[in-house]
Amino acid sequence: MIDIAALLKELGEGLTENQKKGIEKLASAQDISDLVNAFGLVFDGTKAHFTQAAGRQLLGSIRENLISQSEKDAVTLALGKQVQKIELFESEMMNRRSDIDRRSSELAKDEENIRAADPTLFEKVVQLELEYRSLTSALKSASNSNDHNSYTELLAEAEKCRRKLNRHYKKQRQAVIAYIERKIADEITGITSEEYNNAVKERDRLKSYEQKLLLDQLIALSPVSQEDAEAWSNKASIPSSVVNKIRRAGYPEHQLRQDMAEFHRLTQGRLSERVFFKSIRGDRSSHTVGYVPGTSERVSVVNVGSGFSKAVLWHELAHHYESVDSGLYELAINWIKERSYGDEVRPLRSITGSKQYGSHEMALEGNFFSPYVGKIYNQQATEVFSMGIEMFSDPVLLAKLEEKDPGMMELMTGIIFGHADVELFR
């Protein structure tokens, strides 16, 4: 059974005596939601405390038999070797920084290195140079012919081409320097850049080894079978424009549907509505709620921007999850307010110093693993569940979440299993 005494201890003085007695009477409840919603626990963020405590209990019970000590020791030993390799490389790079800078400047002028650094970018620069030379030649002719209108148009076009060429020159310089540094680093450290990158990947895998096992167990606890999850994901409407866009980003359709099925299992199959995908311009994906044309069937619409991935997919699907559950929204907004440093809503640009956010995007600054978690909307929506579930899409991300904000990881687990059978907590 759920350890009610431990949960009450977690909640501290947040409950009245009547509420404490009421919760104790629910020790034999058939559904976790009975406990979560009992006796008005929604007020003052108490529901979030209770849900987080329930999540902590579940994670603790899973971890008891998740990994043996000998397995832990083996992972720790392997992790140490990868960290040592990475530190050696980075130390040598730092010690030889002046040598690298000097040689990079020399080698960056070599056309062979410029081409090898980024062949596609090299060809684009060559094309722009030819275009710019052609425009300047046409400008000279227009000037000699006293054709003022033609000259003005060509001047504007040439200036536009020049700015574009300068941007590409900047990208090319960065690509060449990075390429040469990798070459020099190979010589100096005795470790190739490929070996270094592989060591970083292996380090991250080993650091998230336990989280991988944990995710597998959480999915295994789902009442939704793999077959049912796949049937749900196969109902999703993915037009060819989206298929082509995600394929170019290295994310094939079959993988997207597989990732949808995994999301469906982890979240207990509560997102029952069909999902429609739509291609949009711009980098940032988004989510909206819509209806099938000519019907009253409600659907989840994922607007696919560039760079779409499993993490982005889960983030957007989680938005729909929250939009159909008013209780989850209340929990999230109270949790944001409780964790914020004050009541002042500020632009995300100001909080983060990044211009990637629009001037209209506002947030409460607080104790969040990412400032974006504190974003405030003018509608029933938050970024709490979407940002949290996004981190469950990959063991490496989950390990980072646990390191930065274990409380949020516990809260997400409590939310996911908030309506699960009480047997899961025994």
* Backbone angles phi and psi of 402, in degrees to 5: -65, -35
Cβ-in-10-Å burial (0-12, 13-18, 19+) of 256 comes to buried
pLDDT tens by residue, the chain, 426 residues: 456 666 666 666 555 555 565 556 555 555 545 544 443 433 344 677 778 888 888 898 888 888 888 998 999 999 999 999 888 888 877 776 676 677 666 776 778 888 888 888 889 889 999 999 998 888 888 877 777 778 888 888 889 999 999 998 888 888 887 887 777 766 666 667 778 888 899 999 999 999 999 999 999 999 999 999 999 999 999 999 999 999 988 999 999 999 999 999 999 888 877 899 999 887 788 888 777 777 777 788 889 988 899 999 999 999 888 877 778 888 898 899 889 998 899 999 999 988 888 889 999 999 999 999 999 988 788 999 999 999 999 999 999 999 999 999 999 999 988 733 333 333
**325 Cα distance to chain centroid:** 22
Tell me the three state secondary structure of residue 365.
Answer: strand
Instruction: Look up the pTM and report it.
Output: 0.70
Residue 289 contacts residue 266 (beta carbons within 8 Å): no
Pairing of β 275-279 and β 298-304:
parallel
- Kindly give, in sequence order, each residue whose CB lies less than 8 Å from that of residue 275, ignoring residues fewer than 6 positions away: 235, 236, 237, 260, 299, 300, 301, 302, 317, 320
Question: How many Å apart are CA 110 and CA 98, to the nearest integer?
Answer: 20
Residue 336 contacts residue 311 (beta carbons within 8 Å): no
Q: Residue 317: count other Cβ atoms within 10 Å of its Cβ.
A: 23
Tell me the three state secondary structure of residue 16.
Answer: coil
Q: Residue 69: count other Cβ atoms within 10 Å of its Cβ.
A: 7
Q: What is the DSSP string of 276-312?
A: EEEE-SSS--EEEEEE-TTS--EEEEEEE-TT--HHH
Residue 213 to residues 65, 69, 340: CA-CA distances in angstroms? 11, 15, 32
**In the 8-state DSSP scheme, what is residue 347?**
E
Instruction: Give residue limits of the domains in the chain.
Output: 72-201, 223-418
- Kindly give, in sequence order, each residue whose CB lies less than 8 Å from that of residue 169, ignoring residues fewer than 6 positions away: 125
Angle of helix 310-323 versus helix 253-266 axis, rounded to 10: 40
